[in-house]
Amino acid sequence: MSSSSDFQQDRHSFSGSPQKWNDFELPGDTLYYRFTSDMSNTEWGYKFTVTAGHLGRFQTGFEILKQMLSEERVIPHLPLAKIWEWQVGVACRQTGHQRLKAIHLLLKIVQCSAQRDCDLTLLKPLWQLFTHMENNLCHDVTKPGILLPLHRALAELFFVTENRVTELGSLQEYLLALNTEDHLHRCTAQ
Helix (H/G/I), strand (E/B), else coil: 90: helix
Average pLDDT over residues 49-58: 67
Reported as type and span, the H/E element at residue 186 is helix 181-189
Nearest to 81 by CA among 115, 128, 125: 115
Q: Which residues contact 24 (CB under 8 A, 6 or more apart)?
A: 1, 12
For the four alpha carbons of 33, 38, 39 and 40, in that order, the dihedral sign comes to negative
Q: Residue 25 in contact with residue 57, Cβ under 8 Å?
A: yes
Span 133-160, pLDDT tens digits: 888 776 555 555 556 899 999 999 999 9
Sort residue 140 into left (φ over 0), alpha (ψ -120 to 50) or beta: beta
For the four alpha carbons of 121, 123, 128 and 132, in that order, the dihedral sign comes to negative
Q: Model confidence at 103, in pLDDT bands (50, 70, 90)?
A: very high
Determine the Cα–Cα distance for residues 108 and 120; give it in Å rounded to an integer: 13
- Which has the minimum average pLDDT: 10-14, 21-25, 62-66? 21-25
Determine the Cα–Cα distance for residues 117 and 133; give it in Å rounded to an integer: 28
Statement: the pTM of the whole predicted model exceeds 0.75: no
